Amino acid sequence: MHLKKGRYTARSASGPADLAAAQRLRAFCFGLQAPLDVDAYDDQCTHVLIEDTSSGTLVCCYRLLTLRGADLPQSYAAQFYELSALQSYEGLMMELGRFCVHPDWRDPDIQRLAWAAMTELVDARGVQMLFGCSSFAGTETAEYLDAFAMLRARHLAPKRWLPRVKAPDVFRFAARLRRKPDLKKAMLRMPPLLRTYLMMGGWVSDHAVVDRQMNTLHVFTGLEIGAIPAARKRLLRALV
């Protein structure tokens, strides 16, 4: 896989040096003390790198794990969410993880290219559902209440797929929030990755996990490929 948009190139990692570069960028973006962000899932995943074409600087990366519903207990998200309802899903699934963009690089072409590359891999493998953990920075909920109220009002998972509580520390926003969201404030506080999921018809769990190790609040996010609006699919595939 090799795609270009503007000054950026997307490609699959091809060896240990590429993987180490992704782990280094992740550690920097997530504010970790260690020089590399390493876990046991890396060896099982396809890693996608977005680079500045002229300098070779890595500006964005993420990883993808392809699996079936029966394999969900082996996913990264299953550490935090009880996913037995989704194990009956019959189509091929893909877990998106460790998505990060260097904070000094704010060009929207980066995210557009990242999603185009993901679209190519989804199409090539016949994936029918994309899922992962979408993270809010920090572990305090107060500044995100409008965003969580909007998720409760408009974007909760279908009951047949709804993830259940597993993590010891969670914010049950669907049960606790009764406020009417300020939609402008909600979208301003919504993480860019989650915003993109929602624009394509994605849905979320009814609670957020408080992940103090990564200093984030995250929600399980699912997207059925067949539910993506046709116009959005055309945009995603325009670069492929």
**CATH number for 31:** 3.40.630.30
Residues 6+ apart with CB under 8 A from 46: 12, 13, 63, 64, 65, 66, 121
Number of domains composing the chain: 1
Q: Residue range 24-39: average pLDDT?
A: 95
Helices 108-125, 230-237: axis angle to 10 degrees equals 100
Q: How far is CA 182 from CA 6, 141, 147, 231, in A?
A: 35, 16, 8, 27
**Distance between alpha carbon 161 and the CA centroid of its chain, in Å?**
17
Going by pLDDT thresholds of 50, 70 and 90, the confidence category of residue 240 is: low
**Distance between alpha carbon 137 and the CA centroid of its chain, in Å?**
14
pLDDT of residue 229: 85
pTM, two decimals, is 0.94
Q: Residue range 3-24: average pLDDT?
A: 95
H or E stretch including 65?
A: strand 58-67
| Residue 167 near residue 80, CB atoms below 8 Å | yes
Going by pLDDT thresholds of 50, 70 and 90, the confidence category of residue 91 is: very high
Query: Which residue range is the domain that position 231 belongs to?
Result: 2-237
**At 21, which amino acid appears?**
A
pLDDT of residue 239: 63
Residues 6+ apart with CB under 8 A from 84: 164
Q: Residue range 85-93: average pLDDT?
A: 95
**At 194, which amino acid appears?**
L
Q: Residue 178 corresponds to which tokens in the numbers above? A: 């009764």
